[in-house]
Amino acid sequence: MILENKYPVCEFDTGKNPMIQPAAFFAVSRYYNIPLAQLLYAGDDVSGEAWDSREWNMQKDIRYRLLSAAVEMVKKL
């Protein structure tokens, strides 16, 4: 669901939380010539007939390593 005039280019996740779309960030980045990268983490699996959470919210080690990698990447920009 797109919500106009309240949030810039935004959708809602299943918890009804607004999420700004990466396309908006990339458009602004390109316009102002600012380096930008996206790190996409998909913790659950929706490829099958039933949703498999893979306990993504409990994978603290993986999330920590992803955050650390992101911080290192930003330092190199």
What pLDDT is stored for residue 57 in this prediction? 76
Mean pLDDT, the chain, as a whole number?
76
CB burial readout 29-62, b (16+ within 10 A) else e: eeeeeeeeeeeeeeeeeeeeeeeeeeeeeeeeee
Question: pLDDT, tens digit, for every residue of 4-13?
Answer: 444 444 555 6
Tokens for 48, please give them. Answer: 């099958």
What pLDDT is stored for residue 5 in this prediction? 46
Q: Is 51 in the same domain as 32?
A: no
Q: Is 25 in the same domain as 47?
A: no
Q: Is 45 in the same domain as 74?
A: yes
Q: Is 24 in the same domain as 46?
A: no
Please give the tally of structural domains in the chain: 2
Q: Answer whether residue 72 shows pLDDT above 70.
A: yes
Domain range enclosing 27: 1-36
Q: Is 10 in the same domain as 29?
A: yes
What's the pTM?
0.47
